[in-house]
Amino acid sequence: MKTLTVELAERSYPIFIGSGLLDQVDCYRPYIRGNQVFIVTNETVAPLYLERLERALAPLNLTVGRIVLPDGERHKTLAVLETVFDGLLREHHNRTTTLIALGGGVVGDMTGFAAACYQRGVNFIQIPTTLLAQVDSSVGGKTAVNHPLGKNMIGAFHQPVSVIADTAVLATLPDRELRAGLAEVIKYGLIADEPFLGWLEEHCDRLLARDGNALAYAIEVSCRTKACVVSRDETEQGMRAILNLGHTFGHAIETEQGYGDWLHGEAVATGMLLACRLSGAMGWLSDGDVQRVARLLQRCGLPVAAPAHMTADIFLNHMALDKKVTNGKIRLVLLRSLGEAVVTDEYDAVALTHLLNE
């Protein structure tokens, strides 16, 4: 087991990475302060792992509640979130309860938001069951639900008390979800670690084949990078925004297509290539750099073109609701070089419009 730490003074917390951690009671014991636990999962993950988690918790003699949510990004709504509060209140959970998110990014985001709101804030533990959640959404304390007009527009910063990334659960992950998770892994190489990008090019096939050692290393490097950024800028006042490479474009695709048609990682992959192409148009990346990124995304089975009907106007209308918009101007995460990201509103607007119309 590898242990990393997100350094946030008195709110610091560990990220445990390893195989078989779901069954290890010692991964839970220090992070549950009361005698109540409430597990939030979904209808896909529950048949696979819910009973195993409950067995792992049994030696702690807790009162354990549960709720099984519908699966999918389209259910990441305030209406579904309210059912979590219904369960907590119906079972009389108090301020010392601990929520446990057992699932992918949607479950993690909704559980974290519920924990942020319930009785003005209770503890929660992240047990991410998808690659995307293990390398990205489970770490950093961003919690939210979607609105029909914009993704993740209603939420709060609320850090977990621990993250338990069991690499063994990735064995049941559908291939499409695995590929979507690789988009976020590639992101870390692009924004901060060009040598890791080279490692991904060399070991892409091993990752797609679910080689345990390769996956564990990719998760560790990704989480270490994110933990470092979050520790320096918890609430995204500055540099943390580099973690959103490709997301402004990607969220526009998700919102336009209807949540769930494109997986988040698929939309981010296309968005990252758009960001690279704009960086190239500004003279920051070479044509070779852009093609290098496109080849890696394609090798991982990820889309590199937006839906054909999405014009610049459609993109920009959605992008105007991005959380990085300041004083009416869209800020973008671009690359000055592979491995060096920057957040800027000083880009060529004509080149952006031309790129999106292509």
- DSSP-derived 3-state class of residue 102: strand
Active site residue 203: no
Active site residue 210: no
Active site residue 336: no
User: Choosing from 247, 277, 323, 331, which is the catalytic residue?
Assistant: 247
Measured distance CA(180)–CA(267) in Å, rounded = 9
Convert the pLDDT of each residue in 2-51 to its tens digit: 999 999 999 999 999 999 999 999 999 999 999 999 999 999 999 999 99
User: Choosing from 73, 234, 236, 256, which is the catalytic residue?
Assistant: 236
User: Choosing from 61, 120, 309, 327, which is the catalytic residue?
Assistant: 120
**Residue 326: per-residue pLDDT:** 84
- The distance from CA 153 to its chain's CA centroid, rounded to whole angstroms, is 15
Pairing of strands 332-337, 340-344: antiparallel
**Residue 336: per-residue pLDDT:** 97
Residue 271 dihedral angles phi and psi, to the nearest 5°: -65, -40
**Residue 48: per-residue pLDDT:** 98
Structural tokens at position 83: 């059912």
Task: Give me the chain's average pLDDT, please.
Answer: 96
User: Choosing from 251, 277, 323, 331, which is the catalytic residue?
Assistant: 251
What is the per-residue burial (b if ≥16 Cβ within 10 Å, else e) of 165-199? Answer: bbbebbeebeeebbbbbbbbbbbbbbbbbeebbeb
Convert the pLDDT of each residue in 138-150 to its tens digit: 999 999 999 999 8
Active site residue 226: yes
Residue 190 near residue 338 (C-beta atoms within 8 A): yes
**Residue 323: per-residue pLDDT:** 84
Full set of structural domains in the chain with CATH: 2-172 (3.40.50.1970), 175-357 (1.20.1090.10)
**Residue 324: per-residue pLDDT:** 85
In single-letter form, the type of residue at position 119 comes to Q
User: Choosing from 73, 184, 254, 256, which is the catalytic residue?
Assistant: 184
**Residue 165: per-residue pLDDT:** 98
| Residue 215, pLDDT above cutoff 90 | yes
Q: Is 114 exposed, middle or buried (0-12, 13-18, 19+ CB in 10 A)?
A: buried
Active site residue 244: yes
- Which element (helix H / strand E) includes 336? strand 332-337
Convert the pLDDT of each residue in 318-354 to its tens digit: 999 888 888 888 999 999 999 999 999 999 999 999 9
Active site residue 264: yes
- DSSP-derived 3-state class of residue 346: coil
In the block, which residue shows the tokens 């389209």?
74
User: Choosing from 75, 76, 226, 277, which is the catalytic residue?
Assistant: 226
**Residue 50: per-residue pLDDT:** 98
**Residue 224: per-residue pLDDT:** 97
Closest CA to 186 of 104, 274, 279, 265: 265
Active site residue 202: no
Q: What is the DSSP string of 121-184?
A: --EEEEEE-SHHIIIIITSS-EEEEEETTEEEEEEEE---SEEEEEGGGGGGS-HHHHHHHHHH
User: Choosing from 76, 158, 224, 264, which is the catalytic residue?
Assistant: 264
User: Choosing from 142, 158, 179, 323, which is the catalytic residue?
Assistant: 142
User: Choosing from 240, 318, 323, 331, which is the catalytic residue?
Assistant: 240
Convert the pLDDT of each residue in 61-108 to its tens digit: 999 999 999 999 999 999 999 999 999 999 999 999 999 999 999 999
Angle made by CA atoms 219, 12, 236, in degrees to the nearest 5: 75
Active site residue 142: yes
Measured distance CA(25)–CA(243) in Å, rounded = 32
User: Choosing from 187, 244, 254, 277, which is the catalytic residue?
Assistant: 244
Active site residue 251: yes
Active site residue 240: yes
Measured distance CA(5)–CA(228) in Å, rounded = 9
| Residue 190, pLDDT above cutoff 90 | yes
- DSSP-derived 3-state class of residue 6: strand
